[in-house]
A and B are shown apart, each in its own frame.
Chain A
Amino acid sequence: MPKPKVCILRTAGTNCDMETHFAFREAGADAELVHINNLINQQGKLKAYQILAIPGGFSYGDDIAAGKILASELKYKLIDPIKKFVADGKLIIGICNGFQILVKCGLLPGNNNLNQEATLSINDSAKFEDRWVYLKNQKSKIKNQKCVWVKNLPEIIYLPVAHGEGKFITKDKAVLERLKKNNQIIFQYCDEKGKSAAYPYNPNGSEEDIAGISDERGRILGLMPHPERHILLTQHPRWHTIKDKKYGPSLKRWQAGDGLQIFRNGVEYARKLI
């Protein structure tokens, strides 16, 4: 079977690149770490890939604001190849810092002029926090889920967040309504049972508990939680309990974690684009 090629974008301060690489490899892709200077100097290079992944980290130290400098670098130095990539129907995923970057360069929620219509601002707790959160994806409520990244996921998944600036805010009510209408809200923070709940379930105070959104066509996904940190069951903070209760002696040593399916979805879809 052909393996789709994933470009994992790297620059000063990127730091979740290796585990994102691992996640895509586990999901069956041929993933490569690519420094942004390479893409800028060879504008045609991006064409060779079917998926662009912008991993977590602190690009350029998150100076000014999280993801801001890399967002503007993408917008001013790499915009043509990216526009072409999107127009070709290829996939983009931005995780944590990557989500902040996609929102700040206008690729998410997305409009023709790449105007910024939302932001991720400082958490209500005013500090960086690493904690696990429950996420619901409402797939049972949405008939034609366009987003290619969420197929075959259970209704509620469990992933860690680790950020100081993750509070999702839209420019105005109209943008929020548009997101709802187009089913662009992909992940929402919730409690164990899938109900909307306050801090720490919603770890940052995001509007409508929004944790991740996609573009209108469902190919570009951005989310604050880290699916690449839950590829293996042993990354789950209570894997001992899960092991006993869910699997018992049938536990496989390399039991997958909740995050892996997201990467599998992307890879499966991208296979068709080769």
Chain B
Amino acid sequence: MSWHIEIKEKEGIFDAVGEGIKKDILDLGIRSVRKVRFIQVYILEGNLIEGKVREICEELLVDKITQDYAISRPLNRHELPEPGEFTVEVAYNPGVMDPVEESTLKGTQDLGIIGVTSVRTAKKYIIKGNLTGEELKIISEKLLYNKLIQHVVDYSESARSSPVARELDYQFNLITVDLLGASDKRLAAISQEGQLFLNLREMQQIKDYFKKLKRNPTDCELETIAQTWSEHCGHKTFRGKIDYTEELEVDGKKVKRKESIDNLLKSTIMKVTKELNKPWCVSVFQDNSGVIRFDSRHNVCFKVETHNHPSALEPFGGANTGIGGVIRDSLGTGLGAKPFLNTNVFCFGPPDYPFDKLPEGVLHPKRLMKGVVSGVRDYGNKMGIPTVNGAVLFHERFVGNPLVYCGTAGIMPKDKSFKKVSPGELVVLVGGKTGRDGIHGATFSSGELTHESEKISSGAVQIGNPIQEKKMLDTILQARDRNLYTAITDCGGGGLSSAVGEMGKGSGAKVYLDKVPLKYKGLSYTEIWISESQERMILSVSKKNIGALIEVFNKENVEAVVIGEFTNTKKLELFYRDNLVCDLDMKFLHDGLPEIVKKAVYISSNKHKAPVSSCPRNLTPYLEKLLSRYDICSKEWIVRQYDHEVQGGSVVKPLSGIVNDGPSDASIVRPILNSSMGVIVSNGINFRFGLIDPYWMAASCIDEALRQIIAVGGSLKEVAILDNFCWGNPDKPDRLGSLVRAAYGCYDIAKGFEVPFISGKDSLYNEFTVNNKSIAIPGTLLISAIAVMDDVHKAVSMYAKNPGDLVYVVGQTYDELGGSHYYDLMGYLGNNVPRVSPAEAKSVFNALSKASSAGLIKAMHDCSDGGLAVALAEMAFAGGLGMNIFLSEVPYKETQNVKRKTQKPREDFILFSESNSRFIVEVAKDKQKEFESALEGVSFGLIGCVMKDKKFNVYGLGGKPCVKSDIDKLKEAWQKPLRW
């Protein structure tokens, strides 16, 4: 029997959810809405009398102080609406995990009531107002539900049919795929129909392999190969062969070069690490994240991943499982590291993008952003991991394909930093149950998005259950500390297939798929094998420890089940109820990928338009506009929703200032509370520079990530970086060409800074097809940096501290306006993109590290988007103090590669150039001498001072003010755009 319970806030109690929805509806431009009421619905199934249902309501489901409830049977549930009142009830689709079910069931059992067999929830909205049917449809689709995971309840239907889709038992039936008899055309069709995303050459290779075995593959074998060989898991572009042609324009002359690259990763990114050979690099490019030394007893690991395609389709679930996945990367590194910070970087379409320009099947950027932010908030906060750093960028070309980067750093005892699987050990699956969620996620992200994606790939969308993962984290760390297992990895893209396949790579593995705990009946052996259900990990456990291990998990209500054994057969053998359903050679699976040579072409173009008008006299409005740009403006609306202080380790928080709302550079976290040592994390990202030259984009991203570390008082002594390439389709030579060029930039600049890469990731095929035209995202590189700080008490913050203090710019400013926000504001891209000289930059960075560690620096802020002007304004208004600045004192040079018509340097260029390796530094007057001598050999200028009043004035080269404003006005310009 099923019982429907509807719960709403009492009259007079603030209905926060309803009011929030009403605001969103008004934001959509639908003005006729008067009121929205939110009603939470629970549907209990089971053998229950009404008295018990009332008890469940009053003791568990309802807050009697603020809420009323009503119980009804399904038939009479739907009362007729009043005129001008509309009801929309949203429920999860069958098979989609409802995280509330498990905990509510537990709650009823705690009450001593045993009859409840299932709990489902729904959300009901009563919307009042003169709405048209079309408006109601817009509200429902744009705000209330996502059809991939939810549906609007049809009352007439739900009254008739049973509300729970009864899952049928699965009848075993071994499926084979006829490859041996297939023509090339048929092979291509098999790949496409099965969503395998394998190309013809790869399909032929598979056919040849099975020809030798004289049999056809099972569906499971084919899926396993597709998963393993997918771009997502195999990174075949970075590890394959590339024919690269480059055409640059140097001093007006064309310079051409050709290069044949065997393994781009090894010849650029990993090469830096190998050549630098830092003794503190513990484990690089081999585990789920990169590991460096922290102190004499601990190591820290760091990994950043993307979850772009899932987030495009279901932003909450996509970001939710993105962060969940990267947390498991930390937990799956070595023998498991405890996550202590998260970082997130997003790229979206503009939040004010016109609805009528939105391509079919695409969610509006504002909804995407809100969904992604709540997905990260939900998972990060519930896991108790502080989200301490991030960035958000906007561009039209991200409308159909947003980027969602999620990163996690973890800490582990030194002796738990490596894993080793031995034959004879058991394969143990711990954590959540397996369902149909996330089937084909790995292969799906290895293709382009189209408006059809939401239909064909909806299985790829998942929702996370952070509490499941938290329980698993708590228990894994206990088992780790008792040495109960020898290896661990997470089930991410590709599910069991990739986790077990990867762990058993060197030896072999046998798995009994019918042993895997399922969420519901009816899954086939292949579905079990490739499901990407979240919150699961695989352990390798020796037989003598298995009892103790299972007890650790079961004691805290986490499932741990033996599903197989690691063998020495060098084979992957899968069984379902004693039937052999997969029998593959590990060697073929992992090394059988055919060698494909991809073509890459990069032709530099120096012909982007640049403004020809002369320098405006009054630059105040330009500064205000820059501060209001979505990329630059305050992200406080996002940051405050993340718990950035849980675990108690924060030393420099993402927001700082006299009222805690200025934009910090890097964040500093203390992973061990009774130690003075800290970890600094930062991110460098700037796709605009890449539109001009991906090489200098890579250089600038590295510089930005590193200079943020310097800005908070860190040093280059022990810094490691991660690369994250998000690019378009690498099968297209121009896309791949710019990727190669960026990778070259990574090598040269990281080598120059002597900073090793320790891990990385790539997400290719970020394209969206509209009307048969493929729109690629701008090739976007994210560089994330992690540094170890010996003494967090030496940390520096970014807000201005004292009136009368001196203000310096450190580092050289050039007329590098290409790709700047100032140019973009005027509709230009320009050509003179900011460059990096690692030698010069290093001397600036080292001098500042020395000065900050000697306590000579009051405040420091790095110059990035919007240049000097924005950095100065941010420091001033964050500190609640004014500034007087003199441009004539800024060390400024013009680069040779630009021909200039005018004689006098341009004030706007000095103020808004985004040249790298520069800082604004506040120094107390009595430290002037010491500070300046610490900067010997470095370009710097004493450009002004901090003022007691709120005036913010910049005096131009002729001595007249070119910016005349006050900090309240500037702060308002900066805070207003994303004050949602």
Contacts and interface: CB of A to CB of B under 8 A. Distances in A.
A127 B381 CA distance: 13
A137 to B, nearest CB: 22
A126 B658 contact: no
Nearest to B673: A22
Contacts of B647: 15-16, 18-19
A61 B107 contact: no
A76 B20 contact: no
Interface in A1-53: 10, 12-16, 18-19, 22, 35, 37
Interface string A51-70: 00000111011111100110
A95 to B, nearest CB: 12
A64 B60 CA distance: 8
B797 A171 contact: no
Nearest to A15: B384
A107 B465 CA distance: 30
A10 to B, nearest CB: 8
Nearest to A10: B474
B747 to A, nearest CB: 38
Contacts of B670: 234
Nearest to B791: A253
Interface string B641-680: 1111111101101011110100000000010011010000
Nearest to A77: B110
Given A73-B110, A131-B640, A238-B660, A61 B65 contact: no
A131 B555 CA distance: 36
A166 to B, nearest CB: 12
A13 B107 contact: no
B797 A240 contact: yes
B660 A132 contact: yes
Contact of A130 (B14, B382, B645, B802): B645
B392 to A, nearest CB: 17
Contacts, number: 178
Nearest to B66: A121
A168 B858 CA distance: 40
A240 B104 CA distance: 46
Given A126-B20, A169-B66, A72 B60 contact: yes
B383 interface: yes
A160 B60 CA distance: 29
B610 to A, nearest CB: 41
Interface in B598-639: 639
Contacts of B470: 12-13, 15
Contact of B16 (A73, A126, A131): A126
Contact of B103 (A61, A130, A229, A238): A61
B126 to A, nearest CB: 17
B17 A121 contact: no
A138 interface: no
A247 B172 CA distance: 74
Contacts of A169: 13, 65-66
A235 interface: yes
Contacts of A237: 653, 655-656, 660
Interface in B34-60: 59-60
Contacts of B802: 244
Interface in A103-140: 104, 116-119, 121-124, 126-132
A220 interface: no
B467 A68 contact: no
B111 A72 contact: yes
A76 B110 contact: yes
Max chain B C-beta neighbours (<10 A), residue from A10, A126, A132? A126
Interface string A158-199: 001010000101110000000000000000000000000000
B643 A130 contact: yes
Nearest to A16: B646
Contacts of B958: none
A266 interface: no
A116 B65 contact: yes
B801 interface: yes
A68 B107 contact: yes
B550 to A, nearest CB: 15
Contacts of A130: 639-645
Contacts of B859: 240
A238 B858 CA distance: 12
A68 B100 contact: no
Given A76-B110, A126-B20, A130-B640, A61 B100 contact: yes
Interface in A216-241: 226, 228-229, 231-232, 234-235, 237-238, 240-241
A205 interface: yes
Interface string B461-474: 00001110011001
Interface in B359-388: 377, 381-384
A127 B858 CA distance: 35
A229 B645 contact: yes
A132 B658 CA distance: 12
B792 interface: yes
A72 B640 contact: no
B106 interface: yes
B60 A68 contact: yes
Given A64-B104, A205-B14, A240-B801, A162 B646 contact: yes
A244 B60 contact: no
B673 A63 contact: no
Contact of B104 (A22, A63, A171): A63
B648 A12 contact: no
A76 B801 CA distance: 54
B659 to A, nearest CB: 9
B73 interface: no
Max chain A C-beta neighbours (<10 A), residue from B104, B377, B643? B643
Contacts of B657: 238
B658 A238 contact: yes
B857 to A, nearest CB: 10
A241 B801 contact: yes
Contacts of B933: none
Contact of A63 (B13, B59, B100, B644): B100
B648 A22 contact: yes
Contacts of A13: 382, 466-467, 470-471
A226 B650 CA distance: 14
A125 to B, nearest CB: 8
B591 interface: no
Max chain B C-beta neighbours (<10 A), residue from A124, A130, A131, A253? A130
Nearest to B58: A116
Contact of A69 (B17, B106, B377, B674): B106
B793 interface: yes
Given A58-B381, A72-B110, A235 B676 contact: no
A12 B99 CA distance: 13
Contacts of B20: 126
B556 interface: yes
B635 to A, nearest CB: 13
Given A19-B673, A73-B110, A237-B656, A127 B641 contact: yes
A30 B713 CA distance: 35
A10 B471 CA distance: 10
Interface of B: 13-14, 16-17, 19-20, 59-61, 63-66, 99-100, 103-104, 106-107, 110-112, 377, 381-384, 465-467, 470-471, 474, 555-557, 639-648, 650-651, 653, 655-658, 660, 670, 673-674, 676, 792-793, 795-797, 801-802, 858-859
Given A121-B65, A127-B641, 10 more contacts: A58-B466, A64-B107, A118-B65, A119-B66, A121-B14, A162-B646, A169-B13, A171-B64, A235-B648, A241-B658
- Lowest 6 A-B CB distances belong to which pairs? A15-B384, A19-B648, A126-B16, A119-B65, A63-B103, A122-B16
30 contacts: A12-B557, A13-B470, A14-B384, A15-B383, A18-B647, A19-B673, A37-B555, A57-B384, A60-B106, A61-B465, A63-B103, A64-B104, A72-B107, A72-B110, A72-B111, A76-B111, A117-B65, A126-B19, A128-B381, A162-B643, A162-B645, A169-B13, A171-B64, A226-B645, A232-B673, A235-B650, A240-B859, A241-B658, A241-B801, A244-B801
